[in-house]
Amino acid sequence: MMDRGAIEKRLNHQKDLLSNLVKKAKSNGMDQVEIYSSYGYSEDVSLEKNDLNNCTANEENMFGIRVIHEGNQGFIISNHIPSLYESIEEAYQLAKSQTTPDLDLILPEARPIDKQFDTYDMTLDSMGIEDLVSYAKEALGWRNEFYGKVNIDSGEFSLSKGYKLIVSSKGVMAHELGAELSASVMGMGVDGELVGSFDYDSASGFQKDQFQSLWKKAFFNFGDKCMGALYSKPISGFQGKVLLPPEAVYSFFLGLFIGSLNGTSLRKGKSKMEGKLGEKVASSLLSIWDDPTNIGFMGSTGFDREGMPTSFKKVLTEGVLESYFYNTYEAKKAGLITSNGSATGGAQSLPGCGPKQLQIAPGTSSKDEFFKQPGKTLFVNRISGTKDGASGDFSGVVKGGYLLEAGEKIPVREVQIVGNAFDALHQIEAISKEGELLGESSFVPYLLLDGFTVTGVSEN
């Protein structure tokens, strides 16, 4: 049985193994070697077409092996423990065969990690496939009782456990254990010939009770969204306000802004935020920070993809830009001594740059007021369309949206919206006190924005 004891035993064995492999590589002239190990064991139950589909158990251990030699890098992914040393040699040969060295490309020196996170609740060790099957049956029961016109296309229930471990020749040695319950559902409303747009929701939790309450809320939210999209109507276009629920805030426009703070985009001249530190780039109502060190949140971690300590970082304070996201390479390129613990990725990728756990400061408005605005407001659930990271331009069709007018909430379809993410930062009119903890890791309130062009589509 794969319980905490068995996982810890595996982890301790692997710490010794990887340390010895790194030592062996160093003694053979490879002085910059890093191994990132990601181990996971999961039991899964899936839904398909309103019924139970499949029960599986999966175990996977992936290793990302990075070797740097004289400013050149080789990277190999492996899942075969007996041949890990051969993979190190292969990565070394890859590095040696490169012909464009960059001496800023180095592995970071070890730094002390302040917080060790352990999100493994041992009560999950008493659970298994039969519990996941009962959650799946319960969800099908909710569907039959409350949402008979919602077609569940697919769903998944998982109990997953594992660890991440990083060891390098620069003295980096860090690991974290975790276990969680998670569930997701995807589908649409169907009434005879009438078919609504797809929707999706999910929930996860460290403990059984926490997961159950979050999952029930997510499922009913999913059902309501599907039913709302089913009886949608076309509307005429207007200039005016859009209301973003928490789930739409990043996907709609803040995601493009956050992407522009990535060290790689900045270096390549593809970011509109280049050289803007200390400047006002958004409405004074908006404050954002990155906090991977909050012990109560799902994605919290004491170290990043390079084994560097994570920390609390102010991103925007009342609209003023306060930080960018750097891994070691991009930090050196920017003239900094060390990264700011913002290397992203896992065993199957080289380190990128980005935030871990963004939080948006709540505002002072009640979200209920947003639904009673004078004039017309478009409630945007999600957008299907295109967006350009460099310019910030986006356009698309609103899915599962509503027109809010005179206290009414009218489901709409084929409504298009265009805008620019960087302009939209200044179009924020109000932020709600209430919000959602998305993925149990990021607090996001409702945002009301003004000055958008909404294009309606008339019926033929």
Residue range 40-91, pLDDT digits in tens: 999 999 999 999 999 999 999 999 999 999 999 999 999 999 999 999 999 9
Residue of 411, 404, 415, 410 whose CA lies nearest to 370: 404
Phi, psi of 44 (to 5 degrees): -135, 145
Tell me the pLDDT tens digit for each residue of 396-419.
999 989 999 988 999 998 899 999
Tell me the pLDDT tens digit for each residue of 214-256.
999 999 999 999 998 898 889 999 999 999 999 999 988 899 9
pTM comes to 0.95
| pLDDT for 460 beyond 60 | no
SS3 356: coil
| pLDDT for 441 beyond 70 | yes
What's the pLDDT score for residue 253? 82
Number of neighbouring beta carbons within 10 Å of residue 410: 16
Count CA atoms within 13 Å of residue 270 on its CB side: 11
Beta strand residue intervals within 261-370, DSSP E: 288-290, 313-317, 320-321, 343-344, 352-353, 358-360
What's the token pair of residue 94? 């890859």
**Torsion, CA 73, CA 78, CA 82, CA 83, rounded to 10:** -40
Instruction: Dump the DSSP string for 388-408.
Output: -TTT-EEEEEEESEEEEETTE
Residues 445, 246 contacting (CB under 8 angstroms): yes
Compute the mean pLDDT over every residue in the chain, rounded to the nearest whole number: 95
In the block, which residue shows the tokens 């075969």? 80
| pLDDT classification of 459: cutoffs 50, 70, 90 | very low
DSSP single-letter state for residue 310: P
Tell me the pLDDT tens digit for each residue of 301-359.
999 999 999 999 999 999 999 999 999 999 999 999 999 999 999 999 999 999 999 99
Domains of the chain as residue ranges with CATH? 4-227 (3.30.2290.10), 232-249+363-455 (no CATH)
Residues 449, 420 contacting (CB under 8 angstroms): no
Distance (Å, whole) CA 345 – CA 195:
38
| pLDDT for 32 beyond 90 | yes
